[in-house]
Amino acid sequence: MRTATVLLTTLLIACCSTVSVPKRYVDQKGDYIRGLEDAKKDNRNGVRRIAAIECYEEDDWRTLWVMRRLLKERYSIDYNVISPSPLPPDVAYVEGYNSIALPQIETILGKRWYQRLWSDAESYKKLNWKKLKDD
């Protein structure tokens, strides 16, 4: 029943919406718009979140783990992994969500926030990984 409801909602959004969707997501228009709508709802509710697709085999997974923790602890920003692999509907959803969320986060953290936070996470990891992994 839940699957049917999600599919129907996605279909209605895709068919009835006048939102401009990037050409690369024409086949996943409903997913892109669902991402937009979820980001707008989170914004209205005061939730700050980044949507992402992450492969857990990434080389720097420890740094990413620390960065996610710093985002949450310092700025109350959630780093929400939508999918472990880049399936087209998930990519469209993430792009839609982040098209709203990332500009708002940039106004809070400033330009090049990702690079600065990644650098902080790398430094923090080098100094504290043993303690962190025991938490």
How many angstroms separate the Cα of 73 from the Cα of each of 12, 52, 70, 106?
Answer: 38, 18, 5, 17
Q: What is the pLDDT of residues 111-128, one digit of tens each?
A: 999 999 999 999 988 888
Tokens in use for 65? Answer: 């783990």
**Residue 7 pLDDT > 50:** no
Give the residue carrying structure tokens 């923790």. Answer: 69
Q: What pLDDT, on a 0 to 100 scale, did the predictor assign at position 5?
A: 40
Give the residue carrying structure tokens 């990519």. Answer: 91
Q: What is the residue extent of each domain of the chain? A: 2-134
Which of 63, 72, 68 is closest to 121 using CA atoms?
63
Q: In degrees rounded to 5, what are phi and psi of residue 44?
A: -60, -35
pLDDT band at 62 (very low <50, low <70, confident <90, very high): confident
Q: What is the pLDDT of residues 70-126, one digit of tens each?
A: 999 999 999 998 888 888 899 999 999 999 999 999 999 999 999 999 999 999 888
* Whole-prediction pTM: 0.75
3-state secondary structure of 120: helix
Let me know: does 125 contact 62? Beta carbons within 8 Å: yes
pLDDT band at 25 (very low <50, low <70, confident <90, very high): confident
User: What gap in Å lies between CA 117 and CA 113, rounded to an integer?
Assistant: 6
Whole-number average pLDDT of the chain? 82
Q: In degrees rounded to 5, what are phi and psi of residue 58?
A: -60, 145
Residue 38 identity (one-letter amino acid) = D
Let me know: does 105 contact 50? Beta carbons within 8 Å: yes
Which of 102, 53, 123 is closest to 82 using CA atoms?
53
**Residue 3 pLDDT > 70:** no
